[in-house]
Every structure is written in C-alpha cells, then in structure tokens.
Structure 1
Amino acid sequence: MSLSFLITSLIVIVSPGTGVLYTLAAALTRGSRMSVAAAFGCTLGIVPHLAAAMLGLAAVLHTSALAFAALKWLGVLYLLYMAWQALRQRGALAVDSRVDARSAAKVVVTGFLINILNPKLSIFFLAFLPQFIAAGEAHPLLVMLELGGVFMAMTFAVFVVYGLFAAKVRERIISRPAAMAWLRRAFAGGFAALGARLALAER
C-alpha cells in the first residue's frame, strides 16, 4: 500500500462534507458517544459504494442518466430533510443526552443513509481506487477490497476525532440558548448547501 494512497485518502476524508457535518452535529447535540455512532454510520454507508465499485455497478451510475438522477435526487431530498430537522431540533439532531440502544441505532441509520444516498461516492471509488492497483495485479478485486477497508478505517478514525473534539465544547454551547439557535441554523444551512451542491452534480 503506497504512501500516496494514504495521503490522498486523508485529504479526501478530512475535507468537510456531509459525513463530517453530521458527525459534528451529533457530537454537539448528543455528546461523544453519539458522535462515535454517527461516525460508524457514515463509515458503514461507504460499504455499498465500495461494493458497487467492485461489482461494476458504479459504471451503471456513470453511464445511466436515469439511475444517477434517481439516487442523486433522493440524496438531495434527504439532505434537505436533515436541514429541516436541524432547524426544528428534531430527529437524530435533537439535543438529547440519552445514549440508549434505540437512540444510537437512529443516529447510525441516519449516518448510513446520508452516505448511501450520494451517487458520487460510488463513482469516486470506481475512479479513485484503481489508480493504486498495479496493472499486472493478479487479484485486483482483493487489492481494491483492502484499499477500501483502509479508507473506511481512516474515515472512522478521522470522524471520531472530529466528533470527540466537538463533544468537548458541547456543554458550553447547549447551556446557551442563543448559541444553540445559531448552531441549528448553521447546521441547517450546511445541509441545505450540501444538498444544493449534490443537486448540481453531474455524472
């Protein structure tokens, strides 16, 4: 595994996106344990895209305007729904100190849906991973699986760091209603902006 793959992957992972935003939101509204659950859900959402890239399904998204548009608009609608939930302080982003199994499962599922409904991820893996597989590799799918596994592990680790850092300042923020109101608007605006960016995305 090359150093260039690790460095490139890290740059991609640390760049702000829906997963990072959701993990930060979970940390600030629900605490450190829920930020880990959010990071896990977002990482889990990579699995279908990695499988799609390995099975060639990502190529279908790349060539089929209808398939790409269908998944893209589902993703856009879900991000707008997340923005609405953030504004209304409901759903997985509601301020809540509970860490029971039901709450954690809801946070994980939301993180999973955020990533799985982004068709650009499948196309990203289809274009990104083969660059780091030697032309004469006897088992390219196994190497792709290994690279994907490392990418997922790095994603989870980085998101957890983001979440734990945000959780450290959580108490200072939730005790101030004005700060929380501003934060809800910021997260709502962030999800809406990401939804708009996805809406403008092309294959």
Structure 2
Amino acid sequence: MISTQFLMTALVVVLAPGTGVLYTLALGLGQGARAAIWAALGCTLGILPHLTAATLGLAAVLHSSAVLFQIVKILGVLYLLYLAWQALRAGGALSITSVAKPQARLRIAQRGALINILNPKLSIFFLALLPPFLSGDPASATLEMGAMGAVFMALTFVVFVLYGVFAAQARQFVLGSETVVTWLNRGFAAIFAGLATRLALERA
C-alpha cells in the first residue's frame, strides 16, 4: 500500500522546478497545450529507465563506475547545451515565437524523454528515495518499488501537464511584445545552460 508520507514526498519532488518542468513550460509557451502534453509525456517516460535501474539495483553499478557515470553525464551536458541553443536560435525547436510552428508530437516527446534518460543522477536519486518507504518484506520489495515508481510517474505527468497548460494559457498575454519574446528565449537558453553547468559539476 502506498503511504501518505510517500505521496507527499513525491509530490514535493515533482513540483520542484527542474529540467523537465522547464522543457514543458517552453513547449507550452511556444507551441500551446497539446505540445506541452506531449512534452510532459516524454519527460515522464524518460523516468522509466531510471526507476527500472533503481528497482533492479543497477543504479548502484552506475554510482560505483566513475567512467560510466562520466559518459552519461557528458552526454547529458551536451544535450542540455543543445536545448539551450535550440531556445536561443531563431526557428529553433524550443524558440518561442508569436506564431507557433507545429512540431511532430513524437519528436517533442522524444526530446523530453532524453532530458531525463541522460541525467545519471536520476537513477541514484530513486535508489535513495524509494527504499525508506518499503514495508521491510524482501519478498514484496520489487513489487512495492514498482508501485511507488508508477505513482511517481503518474504524479509527474499530471503536474507537468498542469505546468504546460498554464504556460499555454499565459501565451497570449506574454507574446504580444517582441521584446518579451526575445528575453523569454534568452532566459530559457540561460537556464538550460545553467543546468548543463550544474550537471557538469556533479560527482558520482
């Protein structure tokens, strides 16, 4: 049974702004609610490999292997810098414009999934988050972690959709000025670059 304490902890974690939230907000502002929903779906699916790794104990291998950790981290840093460029570049995939340019839904979801897949800290995070809420019965530990993981993913999707829909609703109010649009793009690019820098400084 999922405890109330776990639900509250998971909700606080999901509500905290991170790379996935930033990506969903950017798509909501730039492309509208449907794009934001696909972004939220992609970010949610990107959690699945890390939850699986944590459940199977593979996160401990990643944590103990400095080389593997560095490889995944470097790929994650490069991808975040790529997203920063896409936000800053005119016509980029994350560039916010007053006239939305439709993007392939699966491509939006794919980018969102990669954001989480290429974050090596995520599997270690789940390895630390889930065990304290286990019942203590080894026979049911895997099932319990799977259930908590499913709840965490559901919360992630719902919260991210709400963020994205809010951004889509705000679109008409903030995109009337080219100056605002320019600074929004610069702001998103700077935040993605900052997240890349933070990830680059992470240690296994």
Please indicate the TM-score interval, normalised by the length of the shorter structure: over 0.9
Cα contact 1:5–1:132 (8 A) shared by 2: yes
- Aligned pair 1:156/2:147, yes or no? no
Matched with 1:97 is: 100
Normalising to structure 1: TM-score of the pair?
0.95
SS at match of 2:100: coil
Greater CA deviation, 136-145 or 7-16? 136-145
Displacement, 1:173? Answer: 2.3
In structure 1, stretches of 5+ residues that fail to align are none
Matched with 2:200 is: 199
Greater CA deviation, 5-14 or 137-146? 137-146
Matched with 2:76 is: 75
SS at match of 2:130: helix
Which amino acid in the other structure matches residue 109 of structure 2?
V
Moved over 6 A (4+): none
Matches of 1:92 and 1:143 in 2, distance apart? 39
Matched with 2:47 is: 46
Cα contact 2:85–2:92 (8 A) shared by 1: no
Normalising to structure 2: TM-score of the pair?
0.94
Displacement, 1:131? Answer: 1.1
SS at match of 1:153: helix
Q: Deviations over 1:19-74 (max 9, x none)?
A: 00000000000001100010000001001111111222111111000011110110
Displacement, 1:91? Answer: 4.0
Query: Percent identical across equivalent pairs?
Result: 55
SS at match of 1:139: helix
Q: What is the aligned-residue RMSD (CA, Å)?
A: 1.3
Matches of 1:83 and 1:136 in 2, distance apart? 45
Which amino acid in the other structure matches residue 97 of structure 1?
A
Displacement, 1:137? Answer: 4.5
Q: Deviations over 1:102-139 (max 9, x none)?
A: 61111100000011000100001111111111112421
Q: How many residues align?
A: 201
After superposition, the Cα gap between the structure-2 partners of 1:151 and 1:173, relative to the gap in structure 1 and judged at 3 Å, is: same
Matches of 1:164 and 1:175 in 2, distance apart? 18
Which amino acid in the other structure matches residue 163 of structure 1?
G
Cα contact 1:42–1:108 (8 A) shared by 2: yes
Greater CA deviation, 85-94 or 106-115? 85-94
In structure 2, stretches of 5+ residues that fail to align are none
Matched with 1:187 is: 188
